[in-house]
Amino acid sequence: MSIIFNNVRIPMSGTFFPGQKVLVEKGKIASVGSMIRKNVEKVIECEQKYLIPGLIDAHSHLGLFESAVPVDDINEPYADITPHLRPLDGVKMRDRAMEDARRAGISTCMVCPGSERPISGICSILKTNGNSADVGLIVEQAGVLMSFGEQVKVTARKSERSYVTRMGISALIRETLMKAQDYYAAKQSKKMVKDREIDMEALIPLIKGEVAMRACAHRAEDIMAAIRIADEFKLKLVIEYGTEAHLLASILAEKKIPVVLGPTLIPRFRYELNEKTFESAKILMDAGVEVAFTCDYPGLPIETLRVAAAMAIQYGLEEKRALAAITEVPATILGVDARLGKIKKGMDGDLALFSGHPLDIRSHLEALVVDGDLFVFSKDLKIETGS
């Protein structure tokens, strides 16, 4: 399908530029400017509304959590180390939350297993438009999820089957990475006559440095544990949650470790959330850390991604950087910045049209385009079918 957005505001060098046109063809952004003339299937008269790149949540359990069902497919509580679990095998594309995500302007999510076990599986990047997970899939192996701190401890204590201290969690993760290094070295030497091991196979891209260790950690100490282990095994690292990351801003900046920050709009229901503040994003960004917001769905409803950015503005963050933290920056952290996160020729046709400023929570989503698929949410939107 080809679509043109006429007379729209788009984000440009820190402000919204009016009177622009954006053309989407064959699922990609074909042209951006004020002088586009082209016969298309759908012409959308935007009357100076706001068009932004489709939003990205870099950490969610979308589709793994099943709406209105008491059991979920997020955590595998009876095993500690399961890097071979693949989100694709548990995602339900027709879950209501998928529609909620689209209605919130979210076109892409990183979906991962839960953070209750030390190593819980791989992270996959999905779009929200597919009828099956395979259609929406962008990158399947985009990282390995590891978890530190209270949540892992509490789960282990409940099950009485696993290591229950921070010392034990670090040791389990180290043990697994040590095995994976040796497994990979044996495989490299071509003397490998052994049978493959499915968990070790899943860790090879991590050991090779192709994908990141995505470390769920709230407390400063738990973030440091992740940094320590990533350094020891020379792994790429992304911090998830990062509730106390602002206390380590200079260390994270120096080591160039990004933070997927959130969910912040929650009460301090565990000790490790005690230092939670909406100022985190600004402190981290000022220090030079890359920050993306997450609502950790179902930690918070997926619709609250914009709210996270707006709250950070309330606590001093500039609008431009808040918007980048739900578009460009998560694309960079996920390693898909060549195709997502900006309104630019050649990028994926993922666009969200808002009735007003996108970070004004009162504005509503009028239309969403994902890979050129058009979803319309406003009856008043003027759409003409072209010749």
Contacting positions for other proteins (CB under 8 A)? 150, 153-154, 156-157, 160-171, 174-175, 178-179, 182-183, 185-186, 219-221, 224-225, 228, 247-248, 251, 271-272
For residues 179 and 357, which CB has a smaller minimum distance to other proteins in the complex? 179
Residue number with CB closer to other proteins (174 or 357):
174
Smallest distance, Å, CB 241 to other proteins? 16
- What's the half-sphere exposure (Cβ side, CA atoms, 13 Å) at 51? 32
Q: What is the nearest approach in angstroms of other proteins to the Cβ of residue 295? A: 25
- Least Å from the CB of residue 317 to other proteins: 24
**C-alpha distances in angstroms, 301 versus 228, 378, 385?**
33, 22, 35
Bridge partners of 111, per DSSP, are: 60, 124
Q: What is the dihedral of CA 172, 176, 178, 180, to 10 degrees?
A: -170
Q: Considering the complex, what minimum distance in angstroms separates the CB of residue 262 from other proteins?
A: 22
Q: Which two tokens stand for residue 344?
A: 């630019």
Identity of the residue, 178 or 338, whose beta carbon is nearer to other proteins in the bound complex: 178
Beta carbon of residue 191, minimum distance to other proteins (angstroms, whole number): 9
Rounded CA-CA distance 115/323 in Å is 27
Q: CB of 219 within 8 A of CB of 194?
A: no
Q: Which is nearer to other proteins, 248 or 295 (CB)?
A: 248
| Min CB(223)–other proteins separation in Å | 9
- Residue 220 CB, shortest distance to other proteins, in Å, is 7
Q: Any residues with CB less than 8 A from the CB of 307 and at least 6 apart, and which?
A: 265, 295, 361
CB nearer to other proteins: pick between 90 and 149:
149
| Phi-psi domain of 185 (left: phi exceeds 0; alpha: psi -120 through 50; beta: other) | alpha
Q: Decide whether 135 or 171 has the Cβ nearer to other proteins.
A: 171
CB 215 within 8 A of CB 238: yes
C-alpha span between 32 and 17 (Å, rounded): 12
Nearer to other proteins, 197 or 384 (CB): 197
Would you state the structure tokens that stand for residue 128, as one six-digit string?
């929200």
- The count of other CB atoms within 10 Å of the CB of residue 234 is 9
